[in-house]
């Protein structure tokens, strides 16, 4: 491991890039910790956003105005305001109110707030994709299922969602790649993700360019992995004659 | 009593907030302008029949679409110099210009993709028909394909503009004095719980009031130009 690292540092220095800090234990562990935090953040928000999206899509297509209108308002507000402002509204406003109410017993850390805000934010985008998928299910399919005495919930869970998922998968994956990139805003409220650790390192030693290339590579790799998983799922779930 | 003083404070700070939001809008307009020009150039290169031109354009699109916007903004802020040395004069290179460039880079990659999608949506038979009428490649692109593409590009382009506008919120993180920075200063100065709540909510309202009409218009255009 160390051997390869030294080799890499040597090779990069021949290109004029000074990656010497990677051989130093402290910055290296900071970066590794940051990368791990980003991975956790991505994993938790992917799960959270998909669940939120599912819930919102179910509300939107429920056919009941009392459920659909609040969901629609939430989605429009979420889609048309910056994530950073939402994060501040949650962390600086709600968290402050919570702190005033319960004092130091406040269970929510900055990390938890980022997970909540990004899950809700991307959930709104997932919901739109899923709604389009649910609405694309042919009416005859629904009639056929209804004539087989499926209840509304069974209809959604067993007929509409499996078909909607296939239809919406490309845009869901697109949203998830966006989500991976969005986790960088966590650094704004001092969650120690990889962007934050990079900032911490380059304020101490002047190596912005090297760290930037490292960051771009890291996020590129993460979105590439999400993309590959998406491609695999698309191929796996493909039903001949339906969807793309 | 408390509510009154909070509202008075908001009224007092509102000119500063509006001025900050003006900075955001200026950044977003310049970024989308620069991004569109760059993106159309890159997009045209990506459609070129020569591999040597196509490859760098592809690389540009891949790199800038897959990087987080925040990281690109940090990139342009910290990598570019504070001032440019031209002859004997030093021209300052302000932070907000760097942020504009940082937003224009991903915008250009997205514009290039929008162009690619629009061109791909024009049936290939049109190229063949025009070719058989002895149009040159350039003539086909300019007088047959582009006019149809413009219409199809309008809706996604406006969508991109809304996204860029929301991206300007990140400018506050690198020290640009924009609306969010102003709100933070205001909330720290006034230091009232009610005011803090109100000032951050007004941020949401400001951005929503600006972006929601754009998104509505985009939906209308999408429906009008729907081609399937």
Q: What is the pLDDT of residues A18-39, one digit of tens each?
A: 787 777 888 888 889 999 999 9
Calpha distance B155→B176 (Å, rounded)? 30
Domains of chain B: 2-224 (1.10.3720.10)
Contact between B78 and A203 under an 8 Å Cβ cutoff? The reply is no
Mean pLDDT to the nearest integer, B159-170: 91
Mean pLDDT to the nearest integer, B173-192: 88
pLDDT score for B49? 84
Domain count, chain A: 1
pLDDT score for B227? 56
- Can you point out the beta strands (E) in chain B? 83-86, 89-92
Tokens 């003083």 — which residue? B5
From A209, which residue of chain B is nearest by alpha-carbon distance? B79
pLDDT score for B47? 85
The two tokens of residue B155 are: 């809706």
Mean pLDDT to the nearest integer, A90-95: 89
- Domain holding A118, by residue range, is 34-237
A181·B66 Cβ contact <8 A: yes
> Which pLDDT band, with edges at 50, 70 and 90, does B228 fall under?
very low
B28, B61, B63, B70: which to substitute to probe chain A, counting the most A Cβ within 10 Å? B70
What percentage of residues in chain A have a pLDDT greater than 90?
A: 36
What percentage of residues in chain A have a pLDDT greater than 70?
A: 98
SS3 B35: helix
Is the pLDDT at A244 greater than 60? The verdict is no
φ and ψ of B91, to 5 deg: -100, 120
Contact between B178 and B23 under an 8 Å Cβ cutoff? The reply is yes
Of A81, A96, A181, nearest to B68 by CB-CB distance is A181
Q: What is the pLDDT of residues B17-40, one digit of tens each?
A: 999 999 999 999 999 999 999 999
**Inside any domain, residue A19:** no
A96·B196 Cβ contact <8 A: yes
Selection from A120-124, A193-197, B15-19, B127-131 with the highest mean pLDDT:
A120-124
List CB contacts (< 8 A) between B82 and chain A. Answer: none
**Regarding predicted confidence, which is higher, A90 or B84?**
A90
- Residue A177 sits in a domain whose CATH number is 1.10.3720.10
Whether A213 has its CB under 8 Å from any CB of chain B: the answer is no
Whether A208 has its CB under 8 Å from any CB of chain B: the answer is yes
pLDDT score for A242? 65
Calculate the average pLDDT of chain A: 88
Mean pLDDT to the nearest integer, B151-173: 90
- Alpha-helical segments (H) within A90-160: 95-102, 110-135, 139-147, 152-154
pLDDT score for A1? 64
Q: Alpha-carbon torsion B65, B69, B75, B77, what sign?
A: positive
List all residues 6 or more positions away from B121 whose beta carbon is below 8 Å from its beta carbon: B152, B227
**Inside any domain, residue A120:** yes
Q: What is the pLDDT of residues A93-136, one digit of tens each?
A: 888 888 888 877 778 888 999 999 999 999 999 999 999 888 88
**Inside any domain, residue A24:** no
Per-window interface: A 140-169 vs B, CB < 8 A: none
Is the pLDDT at A221 greater than 70? The verdict is yes
**Inside any domain, residue A135:** yes
How buried is A174 (Cβ within 10 angstroms: 0-12 exposed, 13-18 middle, 19+ buried)?
middle
SS3 B91: strand
> Which pLDDT band, with edges at 50, 70 and 90, does A200 fall under?
confident
**Inside any domain, residue A12:** no
**Inside any domain, residue A29:** no
A187·B70 Cβ contact <8 A: yes
């Amino acid at each position: 491991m160390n051997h390869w690292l030294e080799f890499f540092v040597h090779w990069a220095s021949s290109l004029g890039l000074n990656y010497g800090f990677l051989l130093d234990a402290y910055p290296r562990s900071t970066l590794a910790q940051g990368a791990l935090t980003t991975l956790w953040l991505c994993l938790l928000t992917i799960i959270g956003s998909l669940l939120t999206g599912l819930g919102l899509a179910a509300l939107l297509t429920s056919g009941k105005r009392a459920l659909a209108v609040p969901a629609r308002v939430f989605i429009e507000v979420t889609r048309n305001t910056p994530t950073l402002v939402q994060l501040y509204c949650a962390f600086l406003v709600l968290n402050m109110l919570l702190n005033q109410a319960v004092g130091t017993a406040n269970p929510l850390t900055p990390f938890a707030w980022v997970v909540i805000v990004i899950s809700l934010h991307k959930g709104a985008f997932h919901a739109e994709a899923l709604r389009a998928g649910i609405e694309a299910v042919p009416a005859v399919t629904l009639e056929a299922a209804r004539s087989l005495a499926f209840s509304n919930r069974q209809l959604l869970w067993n007929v509409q969602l499996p078909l909607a998922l296939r239809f919406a998968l490309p845009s869901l994956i697109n949203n998830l790649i966006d989500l991976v990139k969005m986790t960088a805003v966590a650094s704004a409220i001092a969650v120690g993700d990889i962007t934050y650790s990079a900032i911490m390192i380059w304020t101490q030693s002047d190596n912005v360019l090297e760290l930037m290339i490292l960051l771009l590579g890291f996020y590129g790799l993460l979105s590439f992995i999400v993309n590959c998983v998406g491609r695999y799922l698309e191929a796996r779930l493909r039903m001949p004659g339906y969807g793309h | 009593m408390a509510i009154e003083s909070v509202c008075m404070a908001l009224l007092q700070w509102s000119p500063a907030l509006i001025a900050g939001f003006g900075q955001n809008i200026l950044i977003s307009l310049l970024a989308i302008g620069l991004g569109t020009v760059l993106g159309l150039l890159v997009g045209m290169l990506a459609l070129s029949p020569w591999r040597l031109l196509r490859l760098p354009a592809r690389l540009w699109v891949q790199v800038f679409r897959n990087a987080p916007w925040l990281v690109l903004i940090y990139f342009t802020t910290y990598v570019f110099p504070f001032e440019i040395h031209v002859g004997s004069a030093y021209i300052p290179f302000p932070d907000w210009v760097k942020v504009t460039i940082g937003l224009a880079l991903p915008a250009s990659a997205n514009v290039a993709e929008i162009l690619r999608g629009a061109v791909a949506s024009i049936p290939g038979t049109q190229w063949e028909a025009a070719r058989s009428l002895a149009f040159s490649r350039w003539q086909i692109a300019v007088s047959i394909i582009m006019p149809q593409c413009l219409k199809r590009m309008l809706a996604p382009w406006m969508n991109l503009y809304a996204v860029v506008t929301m991206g300007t919120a990140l400018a506050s993180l690198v020290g640009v004095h924009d609306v969010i920075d102003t709100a933070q200063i205001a909330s720290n100065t006034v230091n009232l719980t009610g005011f803090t709540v109100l000032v951050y909510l007004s941020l949401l309202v400001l951005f929503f009031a600006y972006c929601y009409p754009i998104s509505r218009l985009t939906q209308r255009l999408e429906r009008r130009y729907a081609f399937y």
